[in-house]
């Protein structure tokens, strides 16, 4: 690289200096733009956390959405000035005329989903393949938080569905048995993942398993060998705990990145199914779940909310309020 395009690397070692590479600032569509903003914000947070704190509200999802909006407006200004001479400058964004002809910056064009497709719910928009996600977890591992995060991404307004660990493995939603094709996300404590895969793979182009593990007790962990399969994502309990809205937003971002990275072979590198809007839906669903959890704190455990799958009396199950008061635990089915 030409020395004219880089600063003295010693300056990058100062705590109040953040150095970025050009490649980290390139994007070609809305999904890549959102991924870029998330990545840059995380880098900023990590570098300057000594000043802003570990979970600054200044760097939350709302601020990131503002950054995305501004960059989209900037791209429109770039496009409108493309035929103007370089001496013409947009005062708000600082972009020059003729930029498109002498730069690698690509205009951002929003991606639209084909919601008219009857199979839209179960299809990855960029590859047009059907899929299903099992939240297949041991009990007492924050499985309800896990399930509602995934549902917030893919079907934020739906009632949760649960595969009962009895003969036939029926799937229940709002107290009624349904075919698995009617939902995208199914929670279960049945942990024979190979059996589930063999049974349901023929109905979808791919079947995914997202598993929560906790501690070292074999009763709260699945066999590690399962975690090595490409279509299995294993998440630790500590990654599912939060105590305020900022931690909640950061948790959703982290989990969604893990999901994207693990299943990139199917969804692609920058799937619109996992964009910022979907993550906002997940945050909202988890907030609503928390409200229901608190409203049921004085009810008995046999009371169950059919939308979120939380039980009554959660706050007192272990004689203490969990860090989030937000990770309802579900007993293993018979």
pLDDT in tens, 98-153: 764 333 333 322 223 333 444 445 555 444 689 999 999 999 999 999 999 999 99
What backbone torsions phi and psi does residue 199 show, to the nearest 5 degrees?
Answer: -75, -40
Q: Is the pLDDT of residue 6 over 90?
A: no
Q: pLDDT: is 228 or 320 the higher one?
A: 228
pLDDT of residue 333: 37
Q: Is-contact 303 312, C-beta < 8 A? A: yes
pLDDT of residue 3: 64
Q: Which of 28-37, 202-211, 308-317 has the lowest mean pLDDT?
A: 308-317
Compute the average pLDDT of residues 176-203: 93
pLDDT of residue 108: 28
pLDDT of residue 300: 78
Q: pLDDT: is 32 or 331 the higher one?
A: 32
Q: pLDDT: is 22 or 146 the higher one?
A: 146
pLDDT of residue 2: 56
pLDDT of residue 321: 32
pLDDT of residue 122: 56
Q: Is-contact 125 273, C-beta < 8 A? A: yes
Greatest mean pLDDT range, 15-19, 56-60, 109-113, 284-288:
284-288
pLDDT of residue 115: 39
pLDDT in tens, 139-149: 999 999 999 99
pLDDT in tens, 139-186: 999 999 999 999 999 999 999 999 998 888 999 999 899 999 999 999
DSSP 215: S
Segment (H or E) for 53: none
pLDDT of residue 318: 34
Q: Which of 167-176, 231-240, 311-320 has the lowest mean pLDDT?
A: 311-320
Percent of the chain with pLDDT over 70: 84
Instruction: Report how far apart, in Å, the C-alpha atoms of 147 and of each of 21, 192, 321 are.
Output: 36, 18, 20
Q: Residue 286: which pLDDT band, with cuts at 50, 70 and 90? A: very high
For 139, the token pair is: 């009990």
pLDDT of residue 170: 93
pLDDT of residue 109: 29
For 251, the token pair is: 């948790």
Q: Is the pLDDT of residue 251 over 70?
A: yes
pLDDT of residue 314: 63
Instruction: Report how far apart, in Å, the C-alpha atoms of 269 and of each of 149, 178, 222, 252, 282 are.
Output: 20, 33, 28, 18, 20
Closest CA to 144 of 191, 185, 195: 185
Q: Residue 24: which pLDDT band, with cuts at 50, 70 and 90? A: confident
Compute the average pLDDT of residues 289-313: 84
pLDDT in tens, 50-84: 888 877 777 777 788 888 889 988 888 888 887 88
**Rounded CA gap, 188 and 84, in Å?**
59
Q: Average per-residue pLDDT in the chain?
A: 81
């Amino acid at each position: 690289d030409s020395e004219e395009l880089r600063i003295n690397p010693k300056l990058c070692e100062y705590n109040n200096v953040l150095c970025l590479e050009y490649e980290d600032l390139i994007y070609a569509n809305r999904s890549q733009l959102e991924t870029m903003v998330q990545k840059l914000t995380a880098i900023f947070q990590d570098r300057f956390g000594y000043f802003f704190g570990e979970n600054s509200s200044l760097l939350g999802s709302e601020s990131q959405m503002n950054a995305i909006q501004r960059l989209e407006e900037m791209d429109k200004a770039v496009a409108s000035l493309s035929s103007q001479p370089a001496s013409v400058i947009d005062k708000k964004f600082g972009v020059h005329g003729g930029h498109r002809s002498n730069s690698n910056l690509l205009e951002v064009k929003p991606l639209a989903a084909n919601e008219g497709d009857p199979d839209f719910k179960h299809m990855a928009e960029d590859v047009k393949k059907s899929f299903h996600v099992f939240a297949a977890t041991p009990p007492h591992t924050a499985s309800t938080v896990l399930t509602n995060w995934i549902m917030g991404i893919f079907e934020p307004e739906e009632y949760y569905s649960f595969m009962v660990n009895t003969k036939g493995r029926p799937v229940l939603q709002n107290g009624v048995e349904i075919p698995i094709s009617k939902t995208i996300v199914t929670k279960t404590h049945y942990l024979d993942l190979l059996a589930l895969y063999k049974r349901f793979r023929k109905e979808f182009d791919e079947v995914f398993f997202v598993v929560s593990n906790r501690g070292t007790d074999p009763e709260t962990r699945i066999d590690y060998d399962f975690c090595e399969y490409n279509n299995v994502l294993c998440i630790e309990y500590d990654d599912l705990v939060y105590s305020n809205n900022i931690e909640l937003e950061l948790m959703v971002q982290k989990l969604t990145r893990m999901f994207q990275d693990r299943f990139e072979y199917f969804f692609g590198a920058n799937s619109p199914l996992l964009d910022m809007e979907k993550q906002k839906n997940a945050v909202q669903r988890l907030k609503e779940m928390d409200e229901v959890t608190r409203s049921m704190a004085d009810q008995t455990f046999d009371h169950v909310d059919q939308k979120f799958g939380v039980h009554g009396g959660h706050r007192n199950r272990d004689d203490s309020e969990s860090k989030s008061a937000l990770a309802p635990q579900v007993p293993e089915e018979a």
